[in-house]
Amino acid sequence: MYHHIKQLMYTVNIGVPDPRFGNMLLEQFGGANGELAAAMQYSIQGINCDDPERKDLLMDIGTEELSHLEVVGTLTRMHLKPLKDNRHAAHEDPLIAIAGGGGVNLYNSMGNPWTADYLKITGELDVDLRSNIAAEARAKIVYERLINFTDDPGTIDALQFLMSREITHMKAFTAALESMGKPTFSIGRIPPTPGLVDQYFNDSTGVGDKGEPDVRGPWNQGGTWEFVHAPAFQALQSDVTGTRVPDGGNGAGAQSSSSQGAGRASQEGESKMHPSKVKKSPAQKA
């Protein structure tokens, strides 16, 4: 059950109202990464959650987000209030001025209505927790940008509080995910196809007009990675698994390809002629 206490989670005081900034603040009231979205996402995930320990976490944080909604709504209302009867202010946000009378409503800063489409609720606890970690990171960066766009000390105080709590939640969701003990890349129950899962497809190749490089890094080399250069021009290594002939392989892949798919030999021949295969960037040679 919910109960309202007539006290804000964080006391809000502002100096001179800034209607234009109030419009920006709506992003955290009725926007995609805002407090209502956070409150609904975690609370509804909690209703779906069969794990009583992490359900408690989801309900705790979902409820705190409702308190954040009240804080940011109060702060936004203070900045928007002049819109009701001040003609100059009304020009800063006509929708709020004319339709809303200077009050907050569930719109984002562009006047788009809040929508359940913002919510990420999969019914798979570890997948939901990953969404929540990302949601907290987004909320944090939006608060940071808002702080950078105001000089009002009271407004900054409230936003600093709200921003800090998002990192708190990010830490809690991360710890909850780790405490489930699932390997990082274990999602659901059906395992990915061996071989294919470790192939990195270098689908954007060459050097750009401004020197944009073709890069090797820990996201495509080392460990179990198998680098496949321009897979569109490579033959299939295995029709069964969908793997491609890896770049710079020792021939094992090519042998496998010729033994399993003789009909693709001509494709492989063509790919060997293609410039993208011949001309490599220095990064690739390294």
Answer yes or no whether residue 169 interacts with Mn ion by CB under 5 A: yes
CA dist., res. 32 & res. 5, Å (int): 27
Tokens representing 279 are: 């001309």
Min dist. Cβ of residue 169 to Mn ion (A): 4
The SS3 assignment for 218 reads coil
CB-nearer residue toward Mn ion: 28 or 243: 28
Answer yes or no whether residue 140 interacts with Mn ion by CB under 5 A: no
Answer for which of 18, 92, 93, 166 binds Mn ion (CB under 5 A) is 166
DSSP summary character for residue 262: G
Answer yes or no whether residue 27 interacts with Mn ion by CB under 5 A: no
- Of the ranges 31-39, 46-54, 204-212, 250-258, which one interacts with Mn ion (CB under 5 A)? 31-39
CB-nearer residue toward Mn ion: 141 or 197: 141
Q: Indicate if the alpha-carbon torsion angle 240, 245, 249, 252 is positive or negative.
A: positive
Number of residues that bind Mn ion (CB under 5 A): 6
Q: Which residues from 59-88 bind Mn ion, rule CB under 5 A?
A: 65, 68
Min dist. Cβ of residue 62 to Mn ion (A): 9
Residue carrying the six token digits 């009909």: 263
199-202 and 226-229 strand pairing: parallel
Count how many residues are written for the chain.
Answer: 286
CB-nearer residue toward Mn ion: 136 or 226: 136
The SS3 assignment for 235 reads coil
CB-nearer residue toward Mn ion: 81 or 140: 140
Is residue 78 within 8 A of residue 100, CB to CB? The reply is: no
Q: Which residues bind Mn ion (CB under 5 A)?
A: 35, 65, 68, 136, 166, 169
